[in-house]
Amino acid sequence: MTLKQVSAGRWLNPPADCRLDERRLWLRTREKTDFWRHTHYGFVRDDGHFWGVPAPSAFTAVATFEGRYETLYDQAGMMLRVDESQWIKLGVEHSDGMTNFSIVVTRGNSDWSVVGQPLISGPQSVRLTRANGAIIAHFRRPAGGWQLMRVADSPDGAATIGPMACSPERAGFEVAFTGLRDHCADRPSPARPGLMRGCSVTATGIKLAFRRCRRLAADGVAAQLHRQGRRGVFGLS
């Protein structure tokens, strides 16, 4: 498996600002952004920031990121999305005065689960696996090793996947994505049949996908990136 050109990827709701150096992709959220549907709160919000590219039918994806979680519901991580009513977001969220590893599974209505992790700081990693009609979510414990968080029914249909960030109570939440990896199960390795090849994407690799991100944010347009011959995030060729 190789990485695909980013021509099929696009922003859903570009952030207020974003930029890239050799170590990370950084973004700052717009005012009161969120992804949520109905449950308990009674509203529908679909204005969070999400960069989506086509997801394989089966994969394991890992995102590493660091946020300045200061205000209620500040959140960052990755999203798997079929449409506005079928999606999953997995990451870290600030709630009840602490940071939490958080997952929201939405199929019409949103279902939220958290694992409290007070005072976590620095880069955090989450892992999402899609296989056999199911989603399996893990977070990386501060002491090391992966901790199972959720097993859920997978949303139906073709999906996109990528970085996600929201700030339901404010503007200006800042988050940096420092690594994205996708181990895709759609194709076996030709060198060793039965084993799946993996893709590794760091901030340097993300640079091509987000080169125009500042202009998109300024324009406020969820435009499609297109650059011949360049590679991007989480894709297949």
- pLDDT tens digits for 78-107? 999 999 999 999 999 999 889 999 999 999
pTM equals 0.79
Looking at domain 23-199, which CATH architecture does it have?
A: Sandwich (2.60)
- The pLDDT value recorded for residue 234 is 33
- The pLDDT value recorded for residue 183 is 63
Of 27-41, 121-135, 187-201, the one with minimum mean pLDDT is 187-201
What's the token pair of residue 20?
């890239």
Q: Which residues contact 7 (CB under 8 A, 6 or more apart)?
A: 224, 225, 226, 227
- pLDDT tens digits for 161-206? 999 999 999 999 999 998 877 765 544 333 333 323 334 444 433 4
- The pLDDT value recorded for residue 217 is 45
The residue among 5 and 148 whose pLDDT is bigger is 148
Beta strands in the chain (DSSP E): 10-12, 17-20, 25-28, 35-37, 44-46, 49-54, 59-67, 75-83, 86-95, 98-107, 109-116, 124-131, 134-140, 146-153, 160-166, 174-188, 196-202
* Extents of the domains making up the chain: 23-199
